[in-house]
Structure 1
């Protein structure tokens, strides 16, 4: 069997059994796609390199522990690890990528003004807490999409891949989540102060 037709799952099995070179083949096979994916998010070669290395350290640890069970879905699994590390990177530097919502009602826009005095800062934090609590009241499917979109800055394509539903379903859930948030804000009489 030639190297280029060995499946990912076979390579994973042989690596787990102790054949180190199998991992090398896996990394080479997917490095271009993974590197491009990370770079498209962070736009910096050195940081991309770091996150790429970190991704494979996590992959190796998981495989060595015997915790890998996503038969035949190696690349999506590795991409998910990389995506989470990108989010961690943005959290670390406290610069989450900005998001745009197309709905005319954007409760999160009141949370993004950096030039607030101490009193307004406290009000802002209270609103943020209130909003977070309201999010918890949403139906599970809507809550999941809203958190992925607003707090994790995932695209609807990524949300669709992560939840296993179509992009249209994810968009629909987001729309209903915003409608429900509006109702909950009125019900709880939360005043969104600018």
Structure 2
């Protein structure tokens, strides 16, 4: 079990609960992506080091004050903090990088609107309704484990503790939930696309 990799959400919860090593794991897991992103924007090692450090000071302060909102995922949240600190740096130094429009660079790369469209909201709601109907066909114990694992991002140990069963029973229920879902999907000839 030593090789088990905890999801970011669990590491965040563990850190908020006082486990300092959880933050170390999060930093080590995402360091190259975050640092690479910062360096690609400022092209300076010392400055990148400073902004990387400031990013995690903000992360720590937010987590310590328990104002972290878990709606988003951890990495995109940290990337937004890093991006804002890069922008702040350029604002303070009045040196916003000027780039001419080229194939590699476009101002539209920075102006993405991630707000869901009405159409995508309707599709998401329909998919969620369909999935909810599928889940309702599962036995209650299997449905409970599947929801805790997939939607609440809980480990099997946490699921076992919360449901009062052994880890093996929780794993078994998850396995049967997946097998039963496959049968339901095949029986109803549902086509799943990703």
Contact 1:8 1:72 in 2 (8 A): no
User: Would the aligned equivalents of 2:11 and 2:26 in 1 still touch at CA under 8 Å?
Assistant: yes
Unaligned runs of 5+ in 2: 118-194
Q: Is contact 2:38–2:48 with CA below 8 Å preserved after alignment?
A: yes
Summarize the Cα distance change of 1:70–1:156 in structure 2 as closer, same or farther, 3 Å threshold.
Answer: farther
Q: Which residue is 2:143 aligned to?
A: none
Distance in 1 between the 2:79 and 2:69 partners? 15
Show the 5 A alignment for 1:18-29.
18-29=18-29
Q: Is the 8 A contact 1:70 1:77 kept in 2?
A: no
May I ask how many residue pairs the two structures share in their alignment? 115
Please state if 1:87 is matched with 2:93: no
Contact 1:9 1:71 in 2 (8 A): no
Structure whose CA Rg is larger: 2
The reply to whether residue 156 of structure 1 matches residue 95 of structure 2 is no
d(CA) in 2 for partners of 1:4, 1:40: 32
Q: Partner residue of 2:135?
A: none
| Counterparts of 2:29 and 2:2, CA distance in 1 | 14
When the two structures are superposed, what TM-score results if normalisation uses the length of structure 1?
A: 0.53
| Equivalent-residue separation in structure 2 for 1:24 and 1:155 (angstroms) | 35
How far apart are 1:15 and its partner, in Å?
A: 0.3
Conserved? CA contact 1:55–1:85, under 8 Å: yes
Q: Which residue of structure 2 aligns with residue 36 of structure 1?
A: 36
Distance 2:109 2:116 in 1: 10
TM-score with structure 2 setting the length? 0.53
What's the CA shift for 1:2?
Answer: 3.9
